[in-house]
Structure 1
């Protein structure tokens, strides 16, 4: 892999819906409009999923509209498409453990 190759090929996600997890726990979803080699992302029609005030690690169903945003590449932890994926139960979450 040469220095100019990207670890992610985001070109296939341009003008499509993506969900982005950011360092610090914030999650946003919107339409990817552009990106650069540093993974800075430009997103439009963006909404942020708000966290539970009682448990900051848990997301709620509440959202707020952000519109057009720029995500700094240093804060981007994960980029995933919004179509073609589904949430599955955590296989390591065993409620019978008692822990």
Structure 2
């Protein structure tokens, strides 16, 4: 059975971290707390690697038109 994208996001809510790739080459990792139909995301315990250093971002709201993809984290 083929799942719809929003069904897959529902399964990721409050679970393992997801990796969010953004325009401009940035990637943020965090726990998906919520989203809407515009792909605006709420990430908790978000972190981003900048120049080899992991920077904790806390809770972030990511605007959906900046999102390239969302993927389950491998760690």
**TM-score of the aligned structures, taking structure 1 as reference length:** 0.64
Partner of 1:81: 72
Partner of 2:10: 11
Partner of 1:70: 61
Partner of 1:20: 20
Partner of 1:88: none
Residue 12 of structure 1 aligns to a residue in which SS? Answer: helix
Q: CA deviation at 1:83?
A: 3.8
Where structure 1 has 5 or more consecutive residues not aligned to the other structure, the ranges are 1-6, 52-59, 85-99
Provide runs of 4+ in structure 1 moved above 6 Å. Answer: none
Residue 38 of structure 1 aligns to a residue in which SS? Answer: coil
- With CA pairs under 8 Å and 6+ residues apart, which has the higher RCO, 1 or 2? 2
Aligned-partner Cα distance in 1 for 2:42–2:12: 12
Aligned length: 69
Structure showing greater Rg: 1
